[in-house]
Amino acid sequence: MTWSERGYQLPRRHHQDATYSRKVFIGGLPPDFDSAKLVQSFQGCGSVRAIKKPGKGHAYIILESNDHVKSLLSRCQRSVSGDFYFSIVGRATQVIPWAEQDSEWGTEFTSPRTNTIFVGALHGQTTAEHVKIIMEDRFGQVRFVKIDTDSYNYPNGSARVQFVFHESYCAAINVNILRVVTKDYERNIQLEPFFEKNIPCSRRCGSMSSVICRHYLCLQYFCRACHRIHQNQQSENRDLHKPIGLL
Ligand SMILES: [Zn+2]
Ligand SMILES: [Zn+2]
């Protein structure tokens, strides 16, 4: 299944009062540009650490604080669409900050946390609102989205999405791989059941669950032993009843 931006643009959020992650994406670098040169280029922005893999045209820089990110952005040129550009060796490199406000959308229902999927292989600039728009368009009403982040509160490529209806949750898991085509990128994102801890095994065996059966008509919580029995009871499509969770 594919979701495409089809002519309209996913909203770009320019928060009036954003709190930015200290980690900032820098794109459009010469591939031979190394970390030392990067640090030098941003030396007017306080203490800077650079993370760059050799041969890549992009990098991350770690600044001291949200205020340092704002100060960097104030030195950038803005394009008509609001993108930030910083001149490095006469080249306009793109500076993409992450506003922490973009990590979450909506209000999660947690008692219990139902109808929730895990989304993997997300593109780094996908905001929670983007995920909400994409999921809602394909599967139905969304209640909550949380983009998972690292110790810098910067996206790490996964999220969880809570749907309002069980049907949406099942449909998303049945699809499993959703191709997302936007103006800026194409990605196959992965949709799996979100494994919630501390749920008793659905066979009432007394154990806590360690897996969830991935078949979109099951999606039940099991301990390892009961899942094995459950899987053995399937006469066909046993592979579709694979366990997801604490393996
Ligand atoms: Zn059990
Ligand atoms: Zn099953």
Cβ atoms of residues 94 and 83 within 8 Å: yes
Whether 235 is covered by a domain: the verdict is yes
Q: Do residues 133 and 82 share a domain?
A: no
Whether 152 is covered by a domain: the verdict is yes
Q: Do residues 152 and 236 share a domain?
A: no
Nearest bound ligand to the CA of residue 243: 2
Distance 75 CA to ligand 1 centre (A): 59
Distance 229 CA to ligand 1 centre (A): 9
Distance 129 CA to ligand 2 centre (A): 32
Cβ atoms of residues 131 and 145 within 8 Å: yes
Whether 141 is covered by a domain: the verdict is yes
Whether 13 is covered by a domain: the verdict is no
Whether 56 is covered by a domain: the verdict is yes
Mean confidence (pLDDT) of the chain: 94
Nearest bound ligand to the CA of residue 207: 1
Range of the domain at 247: 195-247
Residue 75's pLDDT band (boundaries 50, 70, 90)?
very high
DSSP H or E run through 209 = none
Q: Do residues 50 and 87 share a domain?
A: yes
Distance 148 CA to ligand 2 centre (A): 27
Q: Do residues 114 and 185 share a domain?
A: yes
CA distance 150 to 158: 11
Domain boundary, last residue among 193, 211, 237: 193
Residue 111's pLDDT band (boundaries 50, 70, 90)?
confident
Domain of 228: which CATH number?
Answer: 4.10.640
CA distance 190 to 26: 26
Q: Do residues 200 and 154 share a domain?
A: no
CA distance 107 to 210: 26
Q: Output the pLDDT for position 81.
A: 83
Average of pLDDT values for 104-108? 97
CA distance 172 to 178: 9
Q: Do residues 168 and 130 share a domain?
A: yes
Q: Output the pLDDT for position 156.
A: 96
Q: Output the pLDDT for position 137.
A: 95
Q: Do residues 119 and 47 share a domain?
A: no
Whether 241 is covered by a domain: the verdict is yes
Whether 199 is covered by a domain: the verdict is yes
Q: Output the pLDDT for position 117.
A: 97
Whether 216 is covered by a domain: the verdict is yes
Average of pLDDT values for 158-177? 97
Which residue in 44, 50, 54 sits closest to 25, CA to CA? Answer: 50
Domain boundary, last residue among 97, 112, 137: 97
Q: Do residues 106 and 182 share a domain?
A: yes
Q: Do residues 130 and 86 share a domain?
A: no
Nearest bound ligand to the CA of residue 220: 2
Residue 2's pLDDT band (boundaries 50, 70, 90)?
very high
CA distance 10 to 194: 25
Q: Do residues 125 and 188 share a domain?
A: yes
Contacts 24+ apart (CB under 8 A), 71-76: 71/45, 71/46, 72/24, 72/42, 72/45, 72/97, 73/20, 73/97, 75/44, 75/45
Q: Output the pLDDT for position 103.
A: 97
Q: Output the pLDDT for position 19.
A: 96
Q: What angle do CA 122, 147, 125 make, to 5 degrees?
A: 50
Whether 130 shows a pLDDT value over 80: the answer reads yes
Q: What percent of the chain has pLDDT over 70?
A: 98
List phi, psi (to 5°) of 183.
Answer: -60, -30
Domain of 176: which CATH number?
Answer: 3.30.70.330
Whether 23 shows a pLDDT value over 80: the answer reads yes
Q: Output the pLDDT for position 247.
A: 62
Q: Output the pLDDT for position 82.
A: 87
Length of the chain: 247
Distance 196 CA to ligand 2 centre (A): 17
41 DSSP assignment:
H
Q: Output the pLDDT for position 11.
A: 84
Average of pLDDT values for 41-53? 93
CA distance 98 to 19: 8
Distance 205 CA to ligand 1 centre (A): 5
Q: Do residues 139 and 218 share a domain?
A: no
Domain boundary, last residue among 68, 97, 126: 97
CA distance 110 to 92: 45
What total of structural domains would you count in the chain? 3
Q: Do residues 236 and 211 share a domain?
A: yes
